[in-house]
Amino acid sequence: GESVGLHLPTLSVQEGDNSIINCAYSNSASDYFIWYKQESGKGPQFIIDIRSNMDKRQGQRVTVLLNKTVKHLSLQIAATQPGDSAVYFCAAQRNSWGKLQFGAGTQVVVTP
């Protein structure tokens, strides 16, 4: 069936290092992808998005890579800071329409 999943439930990273969070999706019709950050007790916060006609997009300290061949995307956070500690979700949208299908989330823990 259709699914969006993340490879690791928890990622521990030292402050200043780079973080890489991975996500796989199953539906080849998915053509719009978003990474969200969720801090405890808050709603998902938009980080960065990418459409299927691109394979890389960069924001401030974040980069999303999309590999449509293997249905995989990743979020890279450069120079991880304590404020980056949160749960990160990937979400996929099919045919650029309607609902977002979320993955299970990766908890990023930044250690000093």
Partner 1 sequence: EPEVTQTPSHQVTQMGQEVILRCVPISNHLYFYWYRQILGQKVEFLVSFYNNEISEKSEIFDDQFSVERPDGSNFTLKIRSTKLEDSAMYFCASSVGQGFEQYFGPGTRLTVT
Name the residue nearer to partner 1 (CB basis): 53 or 112. 53
Tokens 């979700």 belong to 89
Q: Which residue has the tokens 């990474």?
A: 35
One residue of 13, 75, 84, 102 binding partner 1 per CB under 8 A: 102
Pairing of strands 19-25, 45-51: unpaired
Can you tell me which of 105, 106, 108, 110 binds partner 1, judged by CB under 8 A? 105
Among 11, 23, 73, 91, binds partner 1 (CB under 8 A): 91
Environment class of residue 52 by beta-carbon count within 10 Å: exposed (0-12), middle (13-18) or buried (19+)? middle
Find the binder of partner 1 among 24, 27, 32, 74 (CB under 8 A).
32
Selection from 58, 35, 49 nearest residue 106 by Cα: 35
Phi and psi torsions of 64, nearest 5°: -115, 135
**Interaction of residue 21 with partner 1, rule CB under 8 A:** no
Query: By CB under 8 A, is residue 112 in contact with partner 1?
Result: no
Binding residues (CB under 8 A) for partner 1: these are 32, 34, 36, 42-46, 49, 51, 89, 91, 93, 96-105
